[in-house]
Amino acid sequence: MCQLLGMNCNTPTDITFSFEGFRRRAGLTDHHTDGFGIAFFEGKGVRIFRDNHPGALSPMADLVGQYRIKSYNVIAHIRKATKGTVNLENTHPFIRELWGENWVFAHNGTVENIEICPNSHCQPIGTTDSEIAFCCMVAKLKERFSKKPTEKEIFDAVVEITSEIAQLGVFNFILSNGEWMIARCSTNLHYVCRKAPFGTALREDDVMIDFRKYTSESDKVTVITTQPLTKNENWVKMKNGGYAFFKEGDVIYEIEGDLPECEAHV
Amino acid sequence: MCQLLGMNCNTPTDITFSFEGFRRRAGLTDHHTDGFGIAFFEGKGVRIFRDNHPGALSPMADLVGQYRIKSYNVIAHIRKATKGTVNLENTHPFIRELWGENWVFAHNGTVENIEICPNSHCQPIGTTDSEIAFCCMVAKLKERFSKKPTEKEIFDAVVEITSEIAQLGVFNFILSNGEWMIARCSTNLHYVCRKAPFGTALREDDVMIDFRKYTSESDKVTVITTQPLTKNENWVKMKNGGYAFFKEGDVIYEIEGDLPECEAHV
C-alpha cells in the first residue's frame, strides 16, 4: 500500500511543510520505501520528480525540499509496492495528455485483475494496476467527450467511471489537470482546508509552523492526504465511495460516500 | 532557434561532460536563454527536468550536473523562443505515450503554419509549432500502426511523415523511445560515435576529458548535437533531409539526405 498527498490552492503555495512530514513516512516513520514521486503544476506545464529510492533518503526529494517550487496544484505519492516491480515506470504519479492538458494521477490501494483496454489510445507503460486503471479512465473520458466538457461533466464522468473500477478493490486516488483536483476515497483519505483566520499547525514529528507568517487574508489551501499530517487541525475523514472536487482551495462538488472507513473495509 | 543534444549508448553513460559544454551555450557562450530541458530514459521510465530559466544559470540544470544520472538514451534542448511564449509547457523535450512507451522529442527550427489535427488523440498542451508537429507525428504513427511495428517500419514511417512536415520549414529533431534514437537534419545536426580505441576529447571551452578513464573496450556512445561540442573529434555533419537511426551507440539505418547545409538553406 502507499500514501497520497495532494494540495489545491487559490495562490501559488510552497508545499514543503507538508511534504517534509509526508516523506518521513517513506523510510523513517513508516515503511513506504519503494519509490516516491511528486508533480507540481506550473501553468499548463508540470514538473514531475520521481525516484525509485525511498522518499526519506532520495536526493531527488532533497532537491524538492530545497527548491521550494510554488504551485496551485501538487500531487505526491510514496510507494509500498504491491503490484509491479520497483522501477521508474511503476512510480506514481502517472501522467497523460487529455484534451490538450496534463492529467496527473496517484493511487493508493490495489484494484485486482484490472484489464488493459487493448484498443484504447492510452496504454500503460509500466506494470502497475494503478496505471492500467488511470489509462482506462482517460480512454473512457476521451471516448465520451471528444472535446473538453464542463467541470461538472468531468466530475460526474470521473465518478461514474471510477466507481466501476473501484469494485475491483481499494481505490483511493488523487487526480488533477492543473485547474482542479479530484479526491476519491475507498479506505483512507483526509483533507483540511486552511483559510483565514490562519493559526499554527503542529506536524506529527512536532515541527510547528505559523501560517500567519506565510499567508494573506484571502489565501485558501486544501491539503489532502492518506493520514493527517498535523495533530491540531480539523481533518475531514472521507467515507468509502466519497468524492471531492477541489478548486482554488474550496470544495466545489462533493459526494459523501456510503460508509465510514471501518465499516466499508473490515 | 534552439540547440539539440542527444546521446545513445550500449552502456549506461553519464552525459555530464557533453551537457556541461552544451548548457554553456544557454546564456554564457550563446544566447539560447529561454529555457532548457533534458530527458533521461531509465528502463521504460523517463526523468525529465525542464526549466524556463537559462540552462547556464538554472538550479535544475545544476542538479542534473551534480546528480550524474547514467542512461542509455538522453535528449536535451536549450531554447531560443521563436514561436510560443517562455513557459514550462512550451519547453522541450516533449513527451507522449505511444504503444505503451514514452516517446521523447526535441526540435530545432520553425515549421510555419503547421495545423493541429483537431480529431487526433494526441493534442498539444502548449503553443509551439514543435509540439504540434510532434503530436501530428505521434497521431499518424498510431493511426498507421495500432500495435508497435518493427524498428525498420517505425523508421520508414517517421521518415515519411516528418519529411512532409519538414516542407513547412526547418525541422531538425531528435526522437527516442528509450530503445533507439532517430535524428533528422534540416540545417544543422552533427554526430560522433565514440568507441574503442578511446582517446581524449577537448571541449570548446578547453576542458579536456580522457575517455579511457571512464570506458570499457566494448562501450559505444553516440552523441548528436546541433554544433560539435569538441574540437578534436570527427563529427559527421548530416545533410538536409538526412536521417539516422541509432541503437546501442551504432548507426543502424541511415538516409543521407540531399544537400549539404549551405546549399539547402542559403
Cβ distance of B87 and A43 shorter than 8 Å? yes
C-alpha cell at A65: 525540499
Residue ranges making up the domain that contains A49: 3-264
Q: Which of A59, A67, A100 sits opposite B124 (nearest CB)?
A: A100
Any A CB within 8 A of B48 CB: yes
Structural domain total, chain A: 1
- Number of residues in chain A: 266
Please, is B99 exposed, middle or buried when counting C-beta atoms within 10 Å of its C-beta (0-12, 13-18, 19+)? Answer: middle
Tell me if residue A263 falls in helix, strand or coil: helix
pLDDT at A55: 66
**Chain segment B175-222, per-residue pLDDT in tens:** 999 999 999 999 999 999 999 999 999 998 888 999 999 999 999 999
Residues from chain B that touch A89, judged by Cβ atoms under 8 A, are 43-45, 102
C-alpha cell at B259: 544537400
C-alpha cell at A227: 493520514
CA within 13 Å, CB half, B240: 15
CATH number at residue B115: 3.60.20.10
pLDDT of B51 over the 90 cut: no
**CA-based nearest residue in chain B for residue A40:** B88
CB A95 within 8 A of CB A39: yes
DSSP category for residue B105: E
**Chain segment A179-197, per-residue pLDDT in tens:** 999 999 999 999 999 999 9
Instruction: Tell me how close the Cα of A123 comes to any Cα of chain B, in angstroms.
Output: 5
Containing H/E element for B67? Answer: helix B59-67
Residue A82: count of CB within 10 angstroms of its CB: 14
pLDDT at A31: 66
Residue A262: count of CB within 10 angstroms of its CB: 9
pLDDT of A261 over the 50 cut: no
pLDDT at B55: 67
pLDDT of B93 over the 90 cut: yes
DSSP output for A130-142: HHHHHHHHHHHHH
**Chain segment A20-79, per-residue pLDDT in tens:** 888 887 666 666 677 889 999 999 999 999 887 776 777 777 777 777 889 999 999 988
Amino acid at A260: P
pLDDT at B204: 83
> How far apart are alpha carbons B52 and A164 in whole angstroms?
40
**Chain segment B27-49, per-residue pLDDT in tens:** 666 666 778 899 999 999 999 99
**Chain segment A157-173, per-residue pLDDT in tens:** 999 999 999 999 999 99
Q: At what angle do helices A16-24 and A59-67 cross, to 10 degrees?
A: 160
Q: From residue A142, give the alpha-carbon distance in Å to each of A137, A157, B178.
A: 9, 11, 27
Strand partners, A105: A94, A175
Any B CB within 8 A of A63 CB: yes
The stretch B67-71 carries a mean pLDDT of 85
**Chain segment A200-229, per-residue pLDDT in tens:** 999 988 889 999 999 999 999 999 999 999
> How far apart are alpha carbons B201 and B29 in whole angstroms?
19
φ, ψ for residue A162, nearest 5 deg = -80, -25
Interface test with B, best of A68, A102, A121 (most B CBs within 10 A): A121
CB B226 within 8 A of CB B190: yes
Please, is B217 exposed, middle or buried when counting C-beta atoms within 10 Å of its C-beta (0-12, 13-18, 19+)? Answer: exposed
Any A CB within 8 A of B124 CB: yes
C-alpha cell at A45: 506545464
B122 is catalytic: no
Q: From residue B129, give the alpha-carbon distance in Å to each of A102, B106, B116, B163.
A: 18, 11, 9, 15
Provide the edge-to-edge strand list for the sheet that holds A250-255: A94-98, A101-108, A172-176, A181-185, A242-247, A250-255
When pLDDT is cut at 50, 70 and 90, the band that residue B17 belongs to is confident
